[in-house]
Amino acid sequence: MSFEKQRLRMVEEQILRRGVRDPRVIEAMKTVPRHLFVEEALRGRAYDDCPLPIGEQQTISQPYMVAMMTEALALHGLERVLEVGTGSGYQTAVLAQLARRVYSIDRIDTFVSRVRKLLEELGIHNVEIKVGDGTLGWRAKAPFEAILVSAGSPEVPAPLVEQLTREGRLVIPVGERDAQVVRRIRLGPDG
């Protein structure tokens, strides 16, 4: 089966059946070639319903988690989004389909280099990536209408909340490693 057919099946069986409904998120998941964001040896499993290793003891997130967390951001297309944890760059590429500008931070420089190159090859030009501590955010580019944290944290880092716009949204897995819940924090009109 071709990668395109696998991708469409992934959307049908893993994304739509689990309740993701935002048509823009669904279209992005149908469009972004997930198999290019995993090692060549794992490309045959790229659209499986599971995370896959990407090196440095990190993983590319399960497709459903990418879709669900992206939908929770409620993007309309004009937002400036901060992504904490670039990783493979797959989530970055999905966000780039849905936002005006994406700023992404990862602490692993080899990931940042690889993702920059891949996004360039894919013609994705609305992303800026840097190496750094994502829990500190990216003050020089703040404020952000939306922040997505791909890696779990025991608590919500205060600098991220401080870098949201007055009505910004933050989506983050919170809790201990084996008992995390995805939280969506939305600031009100008064910040």
Structure tokens at 6: 């696998």
Tell me how far apart the alpha carbons of residues 119 and 191 are, in angstroms, rounded to a whole number. 33
The DSSP string of 115-179 is HHHHHHHTT--SEEEEES-GGG--GGG--EEEEEE-S-BSS--HHHHHTEEEEEEEEEEESSTTS
CB of 154 within 8 A of CB of 176?
yes
Tell me how far apart the alpha carbons of residues 182 and 71 are, in angstroms, rounded to a whole number. 12
The catalytic residues are 61
Tell me how far apart the alpha carbons of residues 75 and 98 are, in angstroms, rounded to a whole number. 6
Sign of torsion over alpha carbons 31, 77, 60, 18? negative
